[in-house]
Amino acid sequence: MKFHIFLHFAFNIKDQEHIMSKYQQEWKKAIQKHIKLKWKVKTSGGDIMIRVPAETDMEKLESNFPDLMAPIAPTILSPKTRLTMYVGNSDQADFKFILS
């Protein structure tokens, strides 16, 4: 699926804050705070879109992604709900990571 399609349907950030679940908001803020890389984190509907730099080794990132997210999980205080993170470094969403 094209990564930019998800971003195209995103509302402006102010409007999104009202439709995002608290769980999704916490994850977005936590990723932005804890991941010290040049990632762009956006939301679309109930999903999180993460755009990483073009030079990122996507195979390595995909295999290490659970380890990157593990230290963040305990900081999320809202009740857990299903959340999909689409991670890509081009127009293509290279992989998705599902929290359920």
pLDDT per residue as tens, the chain (100 positions): 444 434 333 334 444 444 568 999 999 999 999 998 899 999 888 899 999 998 899 999 999 999 999 999 999 999 999 999 999 987 666 899 998 8
Edge to edge, what strands does the sheet with 95-99 contain?
Answer: 40-44, 47-51, 83-88, 95-99
pLDDT at 13: 41
What is the phi/psi pair of residue 12, to 5°?
Answer: -65, 160
Which tokens go with 83?
């959340």
d(CA 34, CA 32): 6
- The pTM of the full predicted model, rounded to 2 decimals, is 0.75
pLDDT in the model for residue 91: 62
Continuous H helices in the chain = 3-8, 13-19, 22-34, 58-69
